[in-house]
Structure 1
């Protein structure tokens, strides 16, 4: 039984001793969070490759004095702002959730108890404890009055632990019942929870195939910009014979469309909208690509307590024993639950299951403790009633003990309701015990847990239940959820340490109990070694390292601050059932970004090709002596060409519903359509420009008409690529394509826009040639799409299979 200190209470440290420890650095100074600072977030989002490329080109355009041709520079701000705002927003939300850092321990100094901030605790401080208090640093118990501590966030074990004088207590746990005081023996980074948080504190980005694929594409483009830029510079400044201002604007016009400037923005926007949608479901996404990562996950490692089950028990049934009436048993049990001054989770479950007590007046009370394993209340003429562990109160050889053991073997928690023959506060209580009933309790399985597991099963996502609780209890929960393999849970103490052998076990088994924190981490690594993409859910400090190592870490909002700090996704309402919505958002993002990537990269391909063709033509003019040729477009031309074929349509398409399953090979699939489409547009545009080009001595009107002819051809085929990417068609996609066509008709026919953007389609012969080149290009792009779809294993569908559907 826990020891109650009878001696005068210790006065704690003196003010001089506290000051000496502060000067020695023996304070509880620990980092608040394990994430990037605001400065690091800003730096990471501003100093990117794409911003550097656009920044240099923007400065070049400004040097010519043509501000309107530098409109693309706004994308530098947009690309940076979206990522910064989202990450800072997530950081601030998490900072508000840091419950432990806000808890103020009561410290006794110079004999006076006062609440202080956790950072102000020093080594050897005497910290008082009461029910619900958080243990903020490691220490040794100095005073104990039936002190019991819940260490489930550290060990995964749900049962409270008795803490007598001299027992160790660890940061991250909290007091369930009783009172006492402990002396701080490890503070700051030396405390148990702080060590785990520190090991997990290094910020790591979610693995994102979309992001890595886009980065790969940007690297290739960066390399292509060098020769294309040199060719363009030579052609514009030497071959074409133009002055430096139009030469520079022509060079920039050639280089800007090579950069898929909106692709990064569209990706961030799609992620950000997904984050907002999930935020409405109380799901905090700390990193934008995390929702993509969860959509690719094929194994989910779920903790039992707090994930599949709620933090509490539920009354299952009452088995009345011989000699007692069922009504009498229920009245006694409800009386004990209603009158317990400090009910634990089991007693609370009885009270919830049976309702209000009969109102019997009590004459004596014996609180529950882990040492004696029973509690009791005397009710005078109504008897002396006990509630406790059957293996303590029953004769082990009795039939009642056998029934209790059989019920307990299925993972249920069994309590014995009994009647004593003396007051419960007597020195020799409980005396002779008469068994009255076995009270069967079970863990509260989340009502949406089964539906969530069924969803993952349908999506071919494996579930591994990993818990620090006993294997029988874990297996019972898994079996109740009809999880395959739940009926033969594995005790993790018997698992092999070798990674290869551990991976073999994990491939075939689904349910594990008595799992240590280091084993959770090893399990994640073993699954990853077999090529699995692993998501880990958890709420306790014991889950931190596994969450950190998993491809996607999912923490519960009510869990420890350390888990919330290292996880990429935090379920603020603690609902495991939110994960299917995260998967759905991930699929929408992946499918739509792949869709719009076709638009942006098609533009990159035709821009690179057109720049090379014009540049090589310029070099050829120097070698063979024919008329030099300049770049056909101004920067404003390439800007408006992207408005209604890429920019606005891509934004709308990136937010559309999309239920396609996540597949690997993003770059390959995109380039199989983007390359042939871009080649067709580049060649057709160049041919149209050659037809319209009137030579180096052409008038300004002829130059504008030649550029307009090439632009019409480019826009025609680019709009058709948009129509291909939008398939299968639903009404709003048809409206989107029609609106794009209408917008270009306005730009080319309204006098103000024609003048502003330097467009002149008035030459009927050249405009007819532009339409013919565009029509040929459309046919070739359509053929390329059919071939690409066949290679990618898709279907040539023009309309969805069901009305209103969307692909």
Structure 2
């Protein structure tokens, strides 16, 4: 098939752009600005609050409807944070996305994937992703992996005329293909678009919150109807007062701030990680970060730099001139040199007169060698312990045990494209490569050890070399496992993988099996990688973390991309996930406690046929200063605890008993102050004031136990809440504003005593339930390290 090396001309490209034959893909962040505004304004919570606000508005008592500001606050903060997150993702995605090389006007140039047009001639090299569907024009030992599309991990050889599909990636060799289907017409057009999408897909946290909201919505209907009937049938009660007391019973049932804080915490997590050059490609990945118990890391690119240097050449009964000539020919014959070949190329000049090539085999992780069959001989370059045995292999192993990388230069009896390759191997020389350790690797590994996160070093390199590098970083490891000695996947295989820390000579398929084995042992696995050989494991891990300079295939399947290639960013990534999920769980206990005591109080008032004790403004003040503001502050604080499954169960274990105690205390004060019969207005006001005192004392004590273990600012937060409420009840202006009457000291004293009893009950429940759940209750704790804040 003739090859048009000119590619398209500028005029042809312009014509296709005008006709819309461009690889146009959805927005990187998934949602437009209008979608974001609509999603944050038209919510279930906002709809409930708006209906309740309109009920208050028709009475003319607008000050009582101040809770309606939550609609504006919820929507505004949610919109601002998501727009900021969208902008962060859009900016980072430009750096992190695939940049294909096309030939136009006879010149190769890199463009963004969205600028590819129909009939473009696209160049591909190892590690690059096929961005549109097309037909291979020419191929130089081109092998393509379509596992992302078909699930099959075997690489497929591609010849001119063969089809390639978007979403597949090049394993070895080079080639060019012509774009036949672009944009929405491509087989997997959405795959690369998803790589930088701002998503709000399912997660345990969101599913739990949505389930709770659904229950609350259904509870509002019968409780609301019951209160309407009761409040409107009270003697000597105006319809305005009946509406206000009905509304005040329903407003605290809505956990409005929980939804806001969840969205905001996720969005802030995206922004904070973005500042560290971490691209969060799927928002729920933030939740996955918090659950990580094992980090699987490759040696190269993670513990060591990518760059290698050729340290020395050890000749093995071979003429040095023959070795030099062979290396020069191998350098000249490799159009896409890897890091090892680049290190050799820095010392050995390519041959001026290349030997005729009969066959060539690019390096793959499965074979562990590359080679070229020339007219007179076949030369190989690869792992000594794979290509040969005996004294040479032992010598290479000895050198590798010091942390250096060793390659064997050898001749082979079989052509490299033969099914029986390499055949008989004759060692000629050992090439010793030096690798530079990352300066931040030791501190990063130490952090994970302190946080009880296991690190498994999984590499395709010599096992002794991997172990030496890991030990040189100050990490205590046991036996170093050569993956070639591992049994087939099963219980024994899973046990070895779970127990050992360092593995060498691991194949891509074994990496995938190791991830599955760790998951079968109950681990949440994060996999880091940068090469094509890491794609399968990244895809199957609970959390895939790719390096920004790695192949476009790894970036496409990973949930997190470290754009600056810093392994030291990973502790911040894990810490951010723990902060978000841990804090949301903490504040959820506050919001659901409020929902539970509000439901109980509303039902009690309806069933007993008495007026609701509170006005809407009462519950608004309590909601803001006992729950809203403290919850907001706590949601932003550092949190080092690893997330665990069972969010709803643990949250309700605190919220249900806490809500019952708060409601029981408030009802005791209310009924003890006014009884079940009709009372004059001033008695009703005094009873409501005393009940509000009890409610504030007990509800704020729920805040005090949720805030534990204390650090100075959490203790100050609880103290501020109590101080604020004391001021509110002491100042005449706030008494008038909130319709409070503290003149009856006996009634007020009764409310205080009941409140103290309720606080004691909440304290006892906190200690008892913690023991039942198998947790160690702590009053005081240490703040997170400043370096991770």
Report deviation, 1:639: 0.9
Which of 96, 102, 105 lines up with 2:102 in the alignment? 105
Q: 2 CA distance for matches of 1:115 and 1:781?
A: 64
1:216 aligns with 2:208: no
Q: In structure 1, the residue corresponding to 2:578 is in which secondary structure?
A: helix
| Residue equivalent to 1:582 | 573
Matched, 1:515 2:508: yes
* 1:236 equivalent in alignment to 2:231: yes
CA contact (8 A) 1:90 1:284 kept: no
Contact 1:35 1:565 in 2 (8 A): no
Which residue of the other structure, out of 603, 609, 614, is the alignment partner of 2:605? 614
Asked if the contact 2:223–2:602 (Cα under 8 Å) also holds between the matched residues in 1, the reply is yes
Deviation at 1:84? 4.4
Residue of structure 2 aligned with 1:31, choices 18, 25, 30: 25
**Structure-2 separation of matches of 1:132 and 1:289:** 27
- The number of equivalent residue pairs is 736
The aligned counterpart of 2:649 is: 668
Indicate how the Cα distance of structure 1 residues 441 and 191 shifts in structure 2: closer, same or farther if over 3 A, else same: farther
1:769 equivalent to 2:759? Answer no
Q: In the TM superposition, what whole-angstrom CA distance separates every residue of 1:426-466 from its partner, at most 9, and x where no partner exists?
A: xxxxxxxxx99743125656454465456546655555667
Change (3 A) 1:694 1:463: closer
Report if aligned partners of 1:304, 1:474 keep a CA contact under 8 Å in 2: no
Instruction: For residue 713 of structure 1, report the CA deviation from its aligned partner.
Output: 1.5
Q: How does 1:350-361 map to 2 (within 5 A)?
A: none
Task: Report the Cα offset of residue 598 of structure 1.
Answer: 2.8
Q: Would the aligned equivalents of 2:710 and 2:781 in 1 still touch at CA under 8 Å?
A: yes
Secondary structure at the counterpart of residue 105 of structure 1: strand
Aligned residues of 2:524 and 2:542 also touching (Cα < 8 A): yes
Secondary structure (helix, strand or coil) at the match of 2:716 reads helix
Q: What is the correspondence of 1:24-103 to structure 2 with a 5 Å cutoff? A: 29=23, 31-32=25-26, 36-38=30-32, 41-96=36-91, 97-98=93-94
Q: Does 1:414 align with 2:407?
A: yes
SS at match of 1:662: coil
1:579-634 CA-to-partner distances (Å, cap 9, x unmatched) read: 2222223333333333333322222222111111111111xxxxxxxxxx211111
Q: Report the Cα offset of residue 343 of structure 1.
A: 7.9
Find the partner of 2:629 among 632, 638, 648.
Answer: 648
**Any conservation in 2 of the 1:685–1:714 contact (CA below 8 Å)?**
yes
CA deviations on 1:756-795 (whole Å, 9 max, x unpaired) are 2222212222222222222222222222222222222333
Unaligned runs of 5+ in 1: 156-160, 375-388, 419-434, 619-628
User: CA–CA distance in 2 between the matches of 1:551 and 1:599?
Assistant: 30
Distance 2:541 2:143 in 1: 26
Measured on the aligned residues, the alpha-carbon RMSD in Å equals: 5.7
SS in 1 for 2:60: coil
> Is contact 1:681-1:718 (8 Å) kept?
yes
Q: Paired residue for 1:259, among 242, 254, 259?
A: 254
CA distance in structure 1 between the aligned counterparts of 2:144 and 2:3, rounded to whole angstroms:
29
Residue 253 of structure 1: CA displacement? 0.4
Q: Distance in 2 between matches of 1:748 and 1:227?
A: 34
Cα offset for 1:578?
Answer: 2.2
Q: How does 1:216-615 map onto structure 2 within 5 Å?
A: 216-239=211-234, 242-302=237-297, 306-307=301-302, 310-319=305-314, 345-346=339-340, 348-349=342-343, 391=379, 412-414=405-407, 438-441=430-433, 446-449=438-441, 452-453=444-445, 455-456=447-448, 461=453, 471=460, 476-477=465-466, 480-481=469-470, 487-490=481-484, 511=503, 513-515=506-508, 531-539=522-530, 550-559=541-550, 564=555, 567-615=558-606
What pairs up with 1:692-703 in 2 under 5 angstroms?
A: 692-693=673-674, 700-703=681-684
Tell me the distance in 2 between the aligned counterparts of 1:692 and 1:314. Answer: 85
| 1:486-521 residue CA offsets vs partner (Å, 9 max, x unmatched) | 5321599x967xx999978866787574426xx877
- Distance in 2, matches of 1:476 and 1:33, equals 45
Distance in 1 between residues matched to 2:61 and 2:396, nearest whole Å: 81
The 5 Å alignment of 1:127-142 reads: 137=132
Where 2:549 maps in the other structure, the secondary structure is coil
1:4-19 residue pairs with structure 2 within 5 A? Answer: none
Which stretch of the first structure deviates more once superposed, 76-85 or 184-193? 184-193
Distance 2:437 2:714 in 1: 44
Distance 2:164 2:4 in 1: 19
Aligned-residue offset at 1:252: 1.1
Deviations 1:686-717 (A, max 9, x none): 22223433888755544433321211121122
Contact 2:200 2:283 in 1 (8 A): no
Instruction: Tell me if the contact between 1:34 and 1:565 (Cα under 8 Å) persists in the aligned partners.
Output: no
Question: Deviation of residue 289 (structure 1)?
Answer: 4.3
Q: In the alignment, which residue of structure 1 is the partner of 2:372?
A: none
Measure how far apart 1:349 and its partner are.
Answer: 3.2
d(CA) in 1 for partners of 2:178, 2:53: 63
TM-score, normalization by structure 2: 0.74
Structure 2 residue matching 1:439: 3-state secondary structure: strand
C-alpha separation between the residues in 1 aligned to 2:230 and 2:64? 20
Identify which of 787, 790, 793 aligns with 2:768: 787
Once the two structures are overlaid, the 10-residue window that deviates more, 14-23 or 456-465, is 14-23
> What TM-score comes out, normalization by structure 1 length?
0.72
DSSP 3-state at the match of 1:570: strand
- Does the Cα contact within 8 Å between 2:129 and 2:553 map onto a contact in 1? no
Q: Quick check: 2:639–2:784 contact (8 Å CA) kept in 1?
A: no
SS at match of 1:481: helix
Deviation at residue 275 of structure 1 after TM alignment: 3.9
SS of 2:314's equivalent in the other structure is: strand
1:187/1:416 CA distance change after superposition, 3 Å: same
Q: 2: distance between equivalents of 1:570 and 1:126? A: 28
Distance change >3 Å, CA 231–CA 101, structure 1 → 2: same
1:148-167 pair list within 5 angstroms: none
Once the two structures are superposed, the pairs formed by residues 104-123 of structure 1 within 5 Å of their partners are 105-108=102-105
Relative to structure 1, the CA distance from residue 607 to residue 123 in structure 2 (aligned partners, 3 Å threshold; closer, same or farther) is closer
Task: Quote the residue 2:668 is aligned against.
Answer: 687
SS in 1 for 2:508: coil
The whole-number CA distance in structure 2 between the counterparts of 1:15 and 1:797 is 69
Given that 2:134 and 2:165 are in contact with CA atoms closer than 8 Å, whether structure 1 keeps it comes out as yes
Instruction: Return closer, same or farther for 1:556/1:56 CA change in 2, 3 Å cut-off.
Output: farther
1:646 to 1:61, Cα distance in 2 relative to 1, 3 A = same
Distance across 1 between alignment mates of 2:292 and 2:657: 32
- Offset of residue 94 of structure 1: 3.8
Structure 2 equivalent of residue 737 of structure 1 = 718
- Given that residues 198 and 282 in structure 2 are in contact (C-alpha distance below 8 angstroms), is that contact kept between their aligned partners in structure 1? no
Pairing 1:722–2:703 present: yes
Kindly tell me: are residues 248 and 751 of structure 1, through their superposed partners in 2, closer, same or farther at Cα, counting changes over 3 Å? same
Q: 1:521 to 1:12 in 2, by over 3 A?
A: same
Residues 307/148 of structure 1: CA separation in 2 closer, same or farther (3 Å cut): farther
Question: Which one is further off, 215-224 or 766-775?
Answer: 215-224
SS at match of 2:739: coil
Deviation string 1:205-236 (CA, Å, 9 cap, x unpaired) is 56543333333332332333233212211111
C-alpha distance after superposition, 1:528-551 (max 9, x if no partner): 566543434445678667656644
1:639 aligned onto 2:632 = no
Unmatched 5+ stretches in structure 2: 149-155, 363-376, 412-426, 472-476
Partners of 2:145 and 2:438 lie apart in 1 by 18
Structure 2 residue aligned with 1:429: none
